[in-house]
Chains A and B, each alone.
Chain A
């Protein structure tokens, strides 16, 4: 993700081809193991009935009302500080806004959610503002002017996510303050207006960052169960708890496709094509983004339709039921792609955040930081990238396997899984090839 002089100055080396081959071989091996040697009855415990609860002291702390308020206030304060640089800072390379938005926030949501669950729901300043306004007016924040229509699902969040990745990958001048400010203003208006009309449930269906954090957070090691008890949870059980909903498939595909487009847009072939074309860059960029997302979606729908037919499942249900297994693959790819950016640009941005008005100040004490390499050698980075992609593939394969056992009758379970496993191997290998060539 190269935005401007400020963000993404140094990018990762392409991984060696031997790494692509190793990763692809492992992906294939995992798929065969899944088909042959894994369990024969659905085993994942989405309802977490057998999960162990966290130590009592931790349970008390995390379920206290004060805990939620601390994080709500923290989110508001962080957002306010961010707005200082956005609204009052000069539009120069040293302004931390672009780095804070695209790197610390967007990329940072992933490790934060992987560790702690759906964090943005707790930090979202817009949700907090809505809550405070409702308390001030004596209204119930969950009730709006009308109920949320039944078939809405994740469609608004899907649109929001596409709007964000378009901003991040295609929009002209996307690291400048006016563009970021305009996008955030529109986003805030839409979220708050929706919350007024439909109540606070709107955020869970429409806020792309909350939904993203929620999806990734299902891989976290601890979770708050339905009955309010916080339990230790393994990632597979957590991810299996993601129920199909309208728009979920497209949302996950947009996530995976946009990261693939980010890789592809850096390939010399694509750069040459975009520069030598008479069509303006934002148009070719948008077309490219849509084409990659469409290709990922087409592959997904074809594979799940075939799997549904061969596995003798109820027609039209397979796509939605399997969507949760693509999330680990997408997350693995996001981690591989943005890891060094987060470490290196993240440090740089934290240093710049001490001086959002570019006056030579040092409000956070980090202005004098020098960027440390933190172990980002080419060999180390390549190893990490292939490892997380393979781990994502492993998790995805196991999740698809378990769900297929529940969806398909016994005699067709093996046959029905083959298109799904092929799909995942294709996604993983394409991801590896993009890291190699683009």
Chain B
């Protein structure tokens, strides 16, 4: 089988170049350098006018991506009817960090963190807590079973 007909070779030459560029880029933005790279990216994202959809993601990042991470990341959520305070957004934690989530709702429900599969029983007005070590990277949703509300997205880098 001919690997690459002559007519397609110039084009196929671009591909390995592109992949190499990408590898170099992600190696620089790899997991060790992820936090400063992401803060730098969020600053450049706010100044880049073209990225209209990245603007909502940016405000939640400066609040969470503090350079000196505290030992335990505290997340507090209050539910009143269908209103979630703070409004659903992305909360960043570092891999290996301990996370404590406290949810207070006004109705009997169950809050569930996907991926980690942690659950908290909610009784009206009583704060419920979950504490765990964020040992898996990825994006995980926290939501309630009965009312089906998304509380926030936990981003573990």
Contacts and interface: CB of A to CB of B under 8 A. Distances in A.
A22 interface: yes
Contacts of A22: 21-22, 25
Given A26-B18, A268-B153, A17 B11 contact: no
B59 to A, nearest CB: 10
Interface stretch (B49-57, B67-75, B97-105, B122-130): B49-57
Contact of B56 (A10, A34, A38, A268): A268
Interface in B16-73: 18-19, 21-23, 25-31, 34, 37-38, 41-42, 44-45, 48, 51, 53-54, 56-57, 60
A379 B11 contact: no
Interface string A4-48: 010011111110111110110010011001100111000100000
B54 A268 contact: no
Contact of B139 (A13, A29, A281): A13
Interface stretch (A96-104, A297-305, A381-389): A381-389
Q: Which of A34, A266, A379 has the most CB of B within 10 A?
A: A379
Interface residues of B, number: 58
Contacts of B37: 16, 18
Contacts of B96: none
Nearest to B10: A37
Contacts of B117: 5, 9
Contact of A268 (B5, B25, B60): B60
A22 B23 CA distance: 10
Contacts of A391: 15
A431 B136 CA distance: 26
B137 interface: yes
A12 B22 contact: no
A343 to B, nearest CB: 12
B121 interface: no
B54 to A, nearest CB: 4
A378 interface: yes
B30 A379 contact: yes
B7 A33 contact: no
A288 B25 CA distance: 34
B155 interface: yes
Given A272-B87, A386-B22, A394-B14, 18 more contacts: A2-B141, A10-B138, A11-B115, A16-B41, A17-B45, A17-B54, A18-B29, A18-B41, A26-B22, A39-B7, A236-B8, A268-B88, A269-B53, A379-B27, A380-B26, A433-B54, A436-B57, A437-B54
26 contacts: A2-B141, A9-B115, A10-B115, A11-B115, A13-B139, A14-B57, A14-B90, A16-B34, A16-B37, A17-B45, A22-B25, A34-B11, A37-B10, A266-B153, A268-B57, A268-B87, A269-B53, A272-B89, A276-B87, A377-B31, A379-B31, A380-B26, A387-B22, A437-B51, A437-B56, A437-B57
